[in-house]
């Protein structure tokens, strides 16, 4: 999986540690989005025909195609269900998240 | 030109970990635009959902250089970035302005017009979700007739918005711009191709991409891409380009799919009656009659 990762970050402890204005390095994620999900997509690799439609339509880029089998970055998938809706062979099931 | 599709585009993400609503069409368009523009791009975004979901200090969703501009100044800031890069002798970069429909057709209009006039070397992408979403669904110049928003309520006296969608694509073309196009996240390969064309264009280029918004339009989040396809198939939006002074229709459906089916999937159009829908279809047919008569396809 090749996806940006959450970077370490600690809040400034004193005023002189704050930057001038709210600027920061790019590629600077400080929190994940997994908690937004009520359902999560699970790919049935047996059914998948590797058409990559799900990779194409995900607004969050959470589906990674760099390995032989597709991988979902559950840190950043929001469970919107577009991938499952668009999959031509119904290889993706949306299953309820359990805490 | 290499065919751009899910198999050929990069796996790398340049716009990631943003806080847009699940199923947001606008973020899907940005994700793909950034894949084509890549590492050496400099993005300027005004206020709007995409700025609001990416720059939540210290969380930064762009992996490239990007900044928020004053609302009216997207194209000016982008022009300035491009000029600055040139002055510094930094080569092989791409500067891009990315604004919403409000940030383009209303508030950012004069800056865009000026940039095209100067032929600034930038790409301007309009992510058109047909209203001011980030402030809670107000009508913009690109909101189509019959849309219920918080400033164009639907009731006994009004069918929602009573104005037509402003013809931004042709207004931009009328400047004699080098390259302009319309697109939709229902046809992502077509959009990728157009971003690549814009990238290869020296001077100003403009792409207006149709991006459904589940939160503002009222439909299940998993239908974003299918709605963005339905709007094109039903003729309520069109895929076109303007190049070398000529218009080109990229898709000319023999028969339109049902406009009613497209409209009734969304709560912003739930109130429309058959007469309203007939009126919308009439306006659509008029537009297509002109496009088919005057444009290439
Ligand atoms: C000068 C100025 N006027 C108004 C606002 C408030 N404002 C912030 S975002 C926004 C809506 C933007 O709508 P649009 O450009 O369509 O982008 P969307 O949020 O729909 O992506 C407005 C009105 C502002 N930030 N600055
Ligand atoms: S859309 Fe379905 S079949 Fe295609 S790659 Fe994704 S899971 Fe596999
Ligand atoms: S559920 Fe939505 S966010 Fe998650 S992988 Fe599918 S399309 Fe992407
Ligand atoms: S309100 Fe609409 S445009 Fe804004 S982030 Fe949510 S889905 Fe996207
Ligand atoms: Mg908008």
CATH code, A37: 3.30.70.20
Residue B149 forms contact with A (CB below 8 Å): no
pLDDT computed for residue A5 by the predictor? 95
The predicted-structure confidence for B220-249, as pLDDT tens digits, reads as follows 999 999 999 999 999 999 999 999 999 999
Cα dihedral B124/B229/B217/A81 (nearest 10): -110
Ligand 3 probe mutation, A1, A48, A62, most atoms within 8 A of CB: A62
Domains identified in chain A, total number? 1
In angstroms, the CA B214 to CA B267 distance is: 10
The predicted-structure confidence for B71-121, as pLDDT tens digits, reads as follows 999 999 999 999 999 999 999 999 999 999 999 999 999 999 999 999 999
Give this prediction's pTM.
0.97
**CB–CB of A24 and B57 under 8 A?**
yes
Task: Judge whether A9 lies within some domain.
Answer: no
Domains, chain B, ordered by start: 25-294 (3.40.50.970)
Task: Judge whether A5 lies within some domain.
Answer: no
**CB–CB of B60 and A26 under 8 A?**
yes
Task: Judge whether A72 lies within some domain.
Answer: yes
> Which alpha helices (H) appear in chain B, and where do they start and end?
25-37, 49-54, 74-87, 101, 109-118, 168-173, 188-199, 214-217, 224-233, 259-264, 274-294
Task: Judge whether A51 lies within some domain.
Answer: yes
Range of the domain at A45: 31-99
Atom index in ligand 3 nearest the CA of residue A54 equals 7
Task: Judge whether A45 lies within some domain.
Answer: yes
Whether ipTM exceeds 0.90: yes
Mutate to test the interface with A, among B5, B17, B215 (most CBs of A within 10 A): B17
């Amino acid at each position: 999986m090749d996806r940006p990762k959450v970077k370490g970050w600690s809040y400034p402890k004193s005023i002189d540690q704050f930057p001038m204005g709210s600027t920061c390095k790019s590629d600077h994620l400080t929190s994940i989005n997994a908690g937004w999900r009520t359902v999560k997509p699970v790919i049935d690799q047996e059914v998948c025909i590797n058409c990559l439609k799900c990779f194409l339509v995900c607004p969050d880029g959470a589906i990674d195609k760099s390995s032989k089998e597709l991988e979902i970055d559950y840190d950043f998938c929001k469970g919107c269900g577009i991938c499952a809706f668009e999959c031509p062979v119904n290889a993706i099931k949306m299953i309820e998240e359990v805490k | 030109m290499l065919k751009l599709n899910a198999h050929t585009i990069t796996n790398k993400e340049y716009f990631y970990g943003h806080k847009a609503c699940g199923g947001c069409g606008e973020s899907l368009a940005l994700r793909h635009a950034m894949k084509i523009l890549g590492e050496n791009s400099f993005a300027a975004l005004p206020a709007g959902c995409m700025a609001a979901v990416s720059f939540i200090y210290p969380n930064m969703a762009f992996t490239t250089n990007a900044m928020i501009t004053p609302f009216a100044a997207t194209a000016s800031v982008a022009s300035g970035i491009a000029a600055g890069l040139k002055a510094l002798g930094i080569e092989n970069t791409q500067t891009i302005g990315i604004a919403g429909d409000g940030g383009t057709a209303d508030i950012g209009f004069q800056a865009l017009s000026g940039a095209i006039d100067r032929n600034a070397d930038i790409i301007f992408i309009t992510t058109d979700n047909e209203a001011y979403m980030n402030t809670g669904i107000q009508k913009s110049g690109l909101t189509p007739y019959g849309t219920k928003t918080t400033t164009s309520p639907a009731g006994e006296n009004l069918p929602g918005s009573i104005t037509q969608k402003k013809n931004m694509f042709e207004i931009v073309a009328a400047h004699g711009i080098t390259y302009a196009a319309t697109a939709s996240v229902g046809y992502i390969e077509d959009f990728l191709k157009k971003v690549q064309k814009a990238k290869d264009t020296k001077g100003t280029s403009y792409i207006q991409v149709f991006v459904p918004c589940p939160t503002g339009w009222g439909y299940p989040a998993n239908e974003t891409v299918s709605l963005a396809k339905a709007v094109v198939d039903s003729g309520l939006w069109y895929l076109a380009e303007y190049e070398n002074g000529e218009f080109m229709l990229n898709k000319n459906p023999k028969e339109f799919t049902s406009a009613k089916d497209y409209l009734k999937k969304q709560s912003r159009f739930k109130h429309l009656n058959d007469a309203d829908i007939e009126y919308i279809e009439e306006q659509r047919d008029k537009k297509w009659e002109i496009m088919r008569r005057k444009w290439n396809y």
